[in-house]
Amino acid sequence: MTFWGGLDDRGVALAFGALIVVGELSLPRDSGAVRAGATPATGAHDREAAPLGTAAALSYALLADAGGAAQVVSVVFAASLLGNVPHIWRGRTDVPDRLARRVLTVGFAAICFQPLYARGLFGAWGGTAHALLLLALLVLTALCDAVLAAALAHCRTGWPFGPLLRDELRGLPGIGSAVCATGAVMALAVAVVGLWALPVFCLPLLLTQLSVRRYAAVRATYRQTIASLARATEVAGCTPAGHARRVAALSQAVGRDLGLSGPDLTVLEYAALMHDIGQLSLVDPVPAGATAGLPPAEQRRIALLGGAVVRQTGVDAAVAVVVERQADPYPEQPMAARIVRTVNAYEEKARDAGPGGPLKALEELRLGTAGDYAPEVVESLARVLSRGGLRLPLAG
């Protein structure tokens, strides 16, 4: 209806639309869970992959002469869709989620701001009251965006909503606050000095986006280094191929189910990848790398050796603690160590049990909850397996 009836102040609409398109085109080719079948990143993921496009859309929603909420939503949707055409062509799977989140968040801001401005409320208040009202609107918009992002992730992955929302709220003080502030300042500046304010205020955000992308690249390289180090046990013939990767993937799923998020999930992933690295120090290898069936004293010795190796690599000391304590009695273990121990035992037992191995392995773990495995972790593992939380083969 907006495009059929024409746009109010077409030049401004086209300028903001072009800025949104540029912001979407600058989106990294690979970030977060963008490829079909990719495993979502753990820890502090790339919460805002296209801050320039988001800031421009928010700024247009808060612009005095935007032409109403309907026009704001129409322009933002059309520009965002146009900017995502190359990403759709490359097969990115996160585009529908991001478009829905963008349109709903901007629509919320526009519906709150435009009618109030049209009634003259902002002009009547002026001064400090005007600034406080705008600040309150930005806070509500940021909260709305966080809830939408968590809801979309919950629907897509089945992970608990609470930890996902907590992750999103933790990300708000970072680049989220910069995006909101830039959007508000751009809207005020355009109202005063015109469209020339757009390139002036976009440059700092572009530099911020570049810095965030470089930081994400460093984190990805760090994770790849840890994954390569974890494969040392496979190359040496101490563990079957893919064992560490499978334990890490299933441990993450169980951690999500138990409510872990952010840095805790990152520590869990790294510890799960490196949980068998102590076997490199053994003179006589453990057959098939199966440590779950060893005597408790031998399990603890291998765990301590692994923790010593992890400390020498320079990885976070919290990862070494989890590796060292994975063989302790479960009441004395941190939650990450309980998860790694349970998932490692499940993978080893399911791999060696033949047909029906997963069910047999899960039953053995339940029988071992009296002293070896934490009952809550075993039940969480059962829930994850029942809803297909891991689609990785047990061998190879």
Identify the CATH number of the domain in which residue 370 sits: 1.10.3210.10
Q: What integer pLDDT is reported at residue 125 of this predicted model?
A: 60
Residue 298's nearest CA partner among 313, 312, 285 is: 285
Among 198, 221, 244, the domain boundary falls at 221
**Mean per-residue pLDDT, 101-119:** 85
Q: What integer pLDDT is reported at residue 188 of this predicted model?
A: 79
191 and 137 within one domain: yes
* 79 pLDDT above the threshold of 60: yes
Please answer whether residues 67 and 8 qualify as being in contact, where contact means their C-beta atoms are separated by less than 8 angstroms. Answer: yes
Query: What's the rounded Cα separation, in Å, for the pair 389 and 249?
Result: 9
Query: What's the rounded Cα separation, in Å, for the pair 10 and 18?
Result: 12
The residue behind tokens 């009202």 is 133
pLDDT tens sequence across 20-58: 998 888 776 654 433 333 334 333 344 556 688 888 888
**Mean per-residue pLDDT, 151-180:** 82
Say how many domains are in the chain.
2
* 163 pLDDT above the threshold of 70: yes
Query: What's the rounded Cα separation, in Å, for the pair 110 and 282?
Result: 64
Full domain range(s) for residue 197: 2-221
**Mean per-residue pLDDT, 126-152:** 82
**Mean per-residue pLDDT, 231-242:** 84
172 and 145 within one domain: yes
In a domain, 18, yes or no: yes
**Mean per-residue pLDDT, 321-329:** 89
The residue behind tokens 């639309």 is 17
Helix %, strand %, coil % for the chain, to 5? 75, 0, 25
According to the per-residue pLDDT averaged within each range, which of 122-126, 128-132, 253-257 is highest? 253-257
Q: What integer pLDDT is reported at residue 48 of this predicted model?
A: 55
Please answer whether residues 102 and 60 qualify as being in contact, where contact means their C-beta atoms are separated by less than 8 angstroms. Answer: no
Q: What integer pLDDT is reported at residue 286 of this predicted model?
A: 81
**Mean per-residue pLDDT, 314-320:** 86
80 and 55 within one domain: yes
In a domain, 392, yes or no: no
Residue 113's nearest CA partner among 62, 162, 71 is: 62
Q: What integer pLDDT is reported at residue 391 of this predicted model?
A: 42
Q: Determine phi and psi for 165, rounding to 5 degrees.
A: -65, -40
Residue 162's nearest CA partner among 150, 174, 146 is: 150
Query: What's the rounded Cα separation, in Å, for the pair 171 and 168?
Result: 5
196 and 251 within one domain: no
In a domain, 393, yes or no: no
Residue/partner pairs of 191-196 with CB below 8 Å, 24 or more apart: 191/63, 191/64, 191/65, 195/11, 195/12, 195/15
Please answer whether residues 305 and 224 qualify as being in contact, where contact means their C-beta atoms are separated by less than 8 angstroms. Answer: no
**Mean per-residue pLDDT, 307-314:** 86
Q: How confident is the model at residue 394 (pLDDT cuts 50, 70, 90)?
A: very low
Burial of 393 (0-12, 13-18, 19+ CB in 10 A): exposed
Q: What integer pLDDT is reported at residue 341 of this predicted model?
A: 92
The residue behind tokens 């076997």 is 279
In a domain, 226, yes or no: no
360 and 322 within one domain: yes
Q: What integer pLDDT is reported at residue 42 of this predicted model?
A: 36
Please answer whether residues 137 and 112 qualify as being in contact, where contact means their C-beta atoms are separated by less than 8 angstroms. Answer: yes
* 339 pLDDT above the threshold of 90: yes
**Mean per-residue pLDDT, 265-286:** 86
Please answer whether residues 389 and 257 qualify as being in contact, where contact means their C-beta atoms are separated by less than 8 angstroms. Answer: yes
The pTM of this model reads 0.74
In a domain, 391, yes or no: no
DSSP 8-state symbol, 348: H
Q: What integer pLDDT is reported at residue 64 of this predicted model?
A: 76
Q: What integer pLDDT is reported at residue 298 of this predicted model?
A: 87
339 and 212 within one domain: no
30 and 131 within one domain: yes
Produce one character per residue of 129-138: b if its CB has 16 or more CB atoms within 10 Å, e if not: eeeebbeebb
Q: What integer pLDDT is reported at residue 200 of this predicted model?
A: 83
Query: What's the rounded Cα separation, in Å, for the pair 45 and 279?
Result: 32
Query: What's the rounded Cα separation, in Å, for the pair 395 and 87?
Result: 34
Q: What integer pLDDT is reported at residue 127 of this predicted model?
A: 59
In a domain, 239, yes or no: yes
Produce one character per residue of 272-284: b if its CB has 16 or more CB atoms within 10 Å, e if not: bbbbbbbbbeeee
Among 182, 197, 221, the domain boundary falls at 221
Among 221, 256, 283, the domain boundary falls at 221
244 and 203 within one domain: no
**Mean per-residue pLDDT, 131-135:** 77
Q: What integer pLDDT is reported at residue 187 of this predicted model?
A: 82
356 and 256 within one domain: yes
Q: What integer pLDDT is reported at residue 39 of this predicted model?
A: 39
Q: 343 to each of 25, 147, 260, how far by Cα in Å?
A: 41, 31, 16
Q: How confident is the model at residue 393 (pLDDT cuts 50, 70, 90)?
A: very low
375 and 250 within one domain: yes
Residue 247's nearest CA partner among 40, 392, 385 is: 392
210 and 236 within one domain: no
324 and 215 within one domain: no
Tell me what percent of the residues of the chain surpass a pLDDT of 70.
88
In a domain, 195, yes or no: yes
Q: How confident is the model at residue 159 (pLDDT cuts 50, 70, 90)?
A: confident
Query: What's the rounded Cα separation, in Å, for the pair 187 and 66?
Result: 10
In a domain, 375, yes or no: yes
Tell me what percent of the residues of the chain surpass a pLDDT of 90.
13
Torsional class of 300: left (φ above 0), alpha (ψ -120 to 50), beta (otherwise): alpha
